[in-house]
Amino acid sequence: MPRYRKKITRLMDYDEFKEAIQDQPRNRQAFFTLLFFSGCRVSEALALSSNDINCTEDMIYIDFFRLKGSKQTDPIPLPKEGALEWLCEQEGELFPFCRKTGYNIVKRVFAQLYPHYFRMNRFTKVAEKHGLATMINFSGLAPTSVSHYIAKVDIKTVGKALQEEIV
């Protein structure tokens, strides 16, 4: 389970994220964007090589090796845009640095965030938009572990849906 003192529950949108990484070198932008869109752990991103990447005209399919007891997932489809296109141009190891360096790279740009913030951000968005079953299959998490990675969300939509059901 994630270990952090205070869980940040405010979600980050893509525009805010993209603005924060715009001055980074392209390989680091790809690293950040991979974390942001896939919700993978830093160590899962660092374990990737070009053999784990399959690029099509408009999508990139990434076959992650899931860690810490998560079940293996189907390759994760990500949009082939911006910094992620860099992944398709590489051969061999994608990010030649250790987990601690990866962590430090993230902390230099996003000083206030904890290491699994992008994981929580993505998994919350997937669960809200596509439901719990999709989030479990996307993440590889066991249903009992899901609550550790989901931010507090607005439940007013449930009340509105209940009102509509009555009418």
Domain segments of the chain: what residues? Answer: 14-166
Question: 83 pLDDT band (50/70/90 cuts)?
Answer: very high
Adjacent-strand bridge partners of 93 = 49
pTM: 0.83
pLDDT value at residue 1: 47
Burial 94-133 (b: 16+ CB within 10 A, else e): bbeeeeeebeebbeeebeebbbbbbbbbbbbbbbeeeeee
Q: What is the mean pLDDT of residues 156-164?
A: 73
CA distance linking residue 134 with residue 139, whole number of Å: 8
The pLDDT score that the predictor gives to residue 145 is 79
Q: Which fold would CATH assign to domain 14-166?
A: hpI Integrase; Chain A (1.10.443)
Q: Are 119 and 40 contacting, i.e. CB atoms less than 8 angstroms apart?
A: yes
Report in angstroms the alpha-carbon separations of 81 from 29, 56, 101.
12, 11, 25
